[in-house]
Structure 1
């Protein structure tokens, strides 16, 4: 029985976009099924940063930081119209949870992981004479200010760019289209979906579940469903305020010690993010009044000129959902590695992606290609037996080793 496609990717967020692009570049027939719109959920509600994750060093996630810094370098070189370096400032006060020596140690390690040959790997402590030029940052009890560099992007525009690249490579997009059910058969995966008000069926050799916060509900529509690890949905809120603090990003501590970014965004200021467990339909996630107040207080704590702002001055707010492993630890301290789950380790037909970072979407995509290669490099003989075949185009040796 012939198949319509080699791979169906469910979800057109950054992880689905990256998977579709990598699979299409490898020469496979790819179709993307998206229920809402490109980057309609988490991939347009992030902190808009391409970074290694300085705070992940606190929890010992060195490999993740190194991986993300390597990807940051690739994105800067290959998508300069979408990703740019911006100075980040970390103020340290007498009351800060992280003392100056610890911040300096973290930045030293961050610089080493980013590569000493990179001009942007350097950081420095600002002289006191420079403190008055930091967009009105409070200097009361200020002990030190460190400047380093990381990158900023338009997350939705980046996702659209990757989807467009996948389509250029031959991928097809069904949007809006909703998965009704997927059944594993002897010849691949039979998929029923609704598009344009009609129930349709397609056959594919493999299905990749990149539906982000819908990963569990999408998995439940697959027969058999994969044994996913226990996961939590964690909501994060940002607020947008009608002022500009210049082209600087401030990395500050909230009242509970959490790290919060204060960032320029389209001539205004974006502040985020929060972290709270979320239960319910991902479509219904919205910022809470408490979260908006928490972020506004964090801004006002460090920038006295904003203390006249009230809740009604918030121009906009949005909430996105992270997929994190279920643990007793606070969301802030949980590992951020991307989990790949499949029905068969040797030749998977159904694969689910749990978690994933904007910065490292390509790494996840290459892992997916590598995982699916045994399945996709097999073809059916007339009697239905699987025989080996080569992919339509080969990956580079570097890609194969990722």
Structure 2
């Protein structure tokens, strides 16, 4: 039976990020993914590497500041995968967030960006508003422009996985875990790969199963009490319309949320929704309600000569991912977004990740690394984590 320091469950961005950080730090690592690495939630995001301007409104200043720091790191460490992109915020007469509020938010966002080359923002002169192709000008009072970044989320996840393998991690796809048992030496994980029974023992386990995090916990013996969570689905539409020149940040006219209209593969990408689910499906699906919602917002702001039905006929693709938020009252927009690293008092070597953002995966990985080091002690690092660059992955989408 193979023995390693740490088994990581889950091959999304958090799982591969943890595997990379642990392997670079000198730990032996096996990662088990039930499907294909990076093909679930991590391949179905808004494809943005950003601080999250909208989260300032709900008071998540520390999270925004940390995410902006990670944006800068990824621009430096993964220049072929993460690219700066201009964001535009049109402000209309009837908006909940007026020009003064937007300017104040952007000023704070700039301040939290510290010494970034992309901390600047500006008010776009009226003469240039028409250059945002199709944007309705009636009632438009101001347009602001600032900077964040965009990535291919699947390629980034795959690149991090390949980096972890370079430093010694063993990444196993199509691994169906049967059970996880506490034993004298740590944990024994029984799993199947293509019907073949396999076993691995580890001194510690990291549960990075994303929206299936509590399903993973249910396999553990003796049991650990799960945290109460909500599943929030975010859906996107890829429309056969020419890509906008940057990302358009829109205030929904239907609720207090914001929606992005983005360039993607030469077309227009619209997202995202926040649909709370009653249960976690094996394969999440975009709903008709979400399609209607996103199309209604696009038609409200853009004049393409198409009505909503005609625009719907131009949908090339739809996709969705599900993120974990704490259960409780209030809508998804108002709930806190910070990652929770959970360790039961009687099983501190079983480490569970609740939540997480694509942008902040490195911060999450470092938090988990610290927790593992507290339990197992430090190892001899193979490289300086802060200097390890990411390359375009070998395997195409």
Q: TM-score range by the shorter chain?
A: over 0.9
Determine if contact 2:213/2:354 at 8 Å carries over to the other structure. Answer: yes
What is the DSSP-based 3-state SS (H/G/I as helix, E as strand, rest coil) of the residue aligned with 2:313?
Answer: helix
1 CA distance for matches of 2:26 and 2:3? Answer: 14
2 CA distance for matches of 1:44 and 1:282? Answer: 17
Q: Structure 1 residues 320, 142: closer, same or farther in 2, change over 3 A?
A: same
What is the DSSP-based 3-state SS (H/G/I as helix, E as strand, rest coil) of the residue aligned with 2:304?
Answer: helix
Give the aligned partner of residue 325 of structure 2: 324
Determine if contact 1:89/1:145 at 8 Å carries over to the other structure. Answer: yes
**What are the Cα deviations for residues 317-374 of structure 1, in whole angstroms up to 9, with x where unaligned?**
11110100012110011110001111348x8221110100000101100100100113
- Once the two structures are superposed, the pairs formed by residues 155-194 of structure 1 within 5 Å of their partners are 155-194=153-192
Instruction: Compare 390-399 and 281-290 and name the one that shifted more.
Output: 390-399
Give the aligned partner of residue 239 of structure 1: 237
Determine if contact 1:214/1:282 at 8 Å carries over to the other structure. Answer: no
Give the aligned partner of residue 118 of structure 1: 116
- Once the two structures are superposed, the pairs formed by residues 64-83 of structure 1 within 5 Å of their partners are 64-83=63-82
Determine if contact 2:24/2:382 at 8 Å carries over to the other structure. Answer: no
Give the aligned partner of residue 197 of structure 2: 199
What is the DSSP-based 3-state SS (H/G/I as helix, E as strand, rest coil) of the residue aligned with 2:244?
Answer: coil
1 CA distance for matches of 2:127 and 2:88? Answer: 15
1 CA distance for matches of 2:279 and 2:313? Answer: 27
2 CA distance for matches of 1:59 and 1:395? Answer: 38
- Once the two structures are superposed, the pairs formed by residues 190-269 of structure 1 within 5 Å of their partners are 190-254=188-252, 255-269=254-268
1 CA distance for matches of 2:340 and 2:70? Answer: 18
**What are the Cα deviations for residues 135-170 of structure 1, in whole angstroms up to 9, with x where unaligned?**
121110001000001000000000000000000000
Q: Are positions 1:16 and 2:4 aligned together? A: no
Determine if contact 1:261/1:273 at 8 Å carries over to the other structure. Answer: yes
Give the aligned partner of residue 358 of structure 1: 358
Provide the TM-score with structure 2 as the length reference. 0.93
Provide the TM-score with structure 1 as the length reference. 0.92
Give the aligned partner of residue 46 of structure 2: 47
Give the aligned partner of residue 349 of structure 2: 349
2 CA distance for matches of 1:392 and 1:73? Answer: 27
Determine if contact 1:135/1:245 at 8 Å carries over to the other structure. Answer: no
Determine if contact 1:232/1:278 at 8 Å carries over to the other structure. Answer: yes
Give the aligned partner of residue 94 of structure 1: 93
What is the DSSP-based 3-state SS (H/G/I as helix, E as strand, rest coil) of the residue aligned with 1:164?
Answer: helix
- Once the two structures are superposed, the pairs formed by residues 107-146 of structure 1 within 5 Å of their partners are 107-115=106-114, 117-146=115-144
2 CA distance for matches of 1:40 and 1:340? Answer: 23
**What are the Cα deviations for residues 122-146 of structure 1, in whole angstroms up to 9, with x where unaligned?**
1011111111111121110001000
> How far does residue 306 in structure 1 lie from its aligned partner after superposition?
5.3
Give the aligned partner of residue 299 of structure 2: 300
What is the DSSP-based 3-state SS (H/G/I as helix, E as strand, rest coil) of the residue aligned with 1:103?
Answer: helix
Determine if contact 1:236/1:276 at 8 Å carries over to the other structure. Answer: yes
1 CA distance for matches of 2:109 and 2:194? Answer: 49
2 CA distance for matches of 1:54 and 1:210? Answer: 26
**What are the Cα deviations for residues 28-83 of structure 1, in whole angstroms up to 9, with x where unaligned?**
11001001101121100100000000011011110000000000000001101000
> How far does residue 396 in structure 1 lie from its aligned partner after superposition?
6.5
Give the aligned partner of residue 393 of structure 2: none
Determine if contact 2:24/2:385 at 8 Å carries over to the other structure. Answer: no
2 CA distance for matches of 1:82 and 1:294? Answer: 30
1 CA distance for matches of 2:318 and 2:384? Answer: 43
1 CA distance for matches of 2:199 and 2:12? Answer: 23
Give the aligned partner of residue 381 of structure 2: 393
**What are the Cα deviations for residues 7-44 of structure 1, in whole angstroms up to 9, with x where unaligned?**
00001100001000000001111001001101121100
> How far does residue 395 in structure 1 lie from its aligned partner after superposition?
8.1
